Amino acid sequence: MILQQEDDIKVVVEEAKKDPQAFVKIYDLFFEKIYTYAYYKVGNATEAEDITEQVFLKALEAIGRYTWKKGVPFSSWIFKIAHNQVVDYFRAQGKVINKAIDEEQINKLPDEKRSFEEEVDLKLLLEDAQKAISKLNEDQQSVILLKFLSGFSNAEIANFLNKSEGAVKSLQHRVLVSLRELLKERFK
């Protein structure tokens, strides 16, 4: 079940407040986005699955206390839970947020019958891209994860980052310019 409109999501959330079984619809709607965010933050599928599970458990526990705020989509609420779980994960591990691309991520890319040379080149390109991304500030990295990997809208990102939509668009533009500059040697 794919719900696109905030009004549709509101109906589902209100159902979930009354019947925990209805929470499955929220899970189905947000699982992929939350998992993708966690995966790219921690760089490990197993850890991302654990974090995603914790996000939905916390959301299920708190759904009864959720209140609608004008102009703030439900996705911002559940995504803040996800962000907090990622922060808690790194705090518990005593680590700094790791954004490394691991072999597992590379192997999950669609197989297009690449030759060995193409496979090596792809891995090197992804490593270069990850190094470039790691040089961006936290807001810029968040925009990449939220927009391009998790598929959130500019309005959702703006709410999550506590910025205006215009500021998010500007940040996206600066991210792309910065990445182009950081990767220009790669494409010469």
pLDDT digits (tens, 9 = 90+) for 25-72: 899 989 998 998 888 888 889 999 999 999 999 999 998 888 887 767
Contacting residues for 12 by C-beta, under 8 A, at least 6 apart:
3, 22, 25, 26, 29
pLDDT band at residue 112 under the 50/70/90 scheme: low
How far apart are alpha carbons 116 and 106 in whole angstroms?
14
Question: Hey, which residues does 65 pair with through a beta bridge?
Answer: none
With a cut of 80, say whether residue 185 has pLDDT above it: no
Residues 118-130 have a mean pLDDT of: 73
* Chain centroid offset of residue 178 CA: 20
How far apart are alpha carbons 62 and 80 in whole angstroms?
13
pLDDT per residue as tens digits for the range 138-171: 788 888 878 877 777 888 888 777 888 899 999 9
This model's pTM is above 0.75:
no
Q: Give me the domains of the chain, ranges plus CATH numbers.
A: 1-98 (1.10.1740.10), 103-188 (1.10.10.10)
φ/ψ region of 162 (left if φ > 0, alpha if ψ in -120 to 50, else beta) reads left
Question: Hey, which residues does 69 pair with through a beta bridge?
Answer: 72
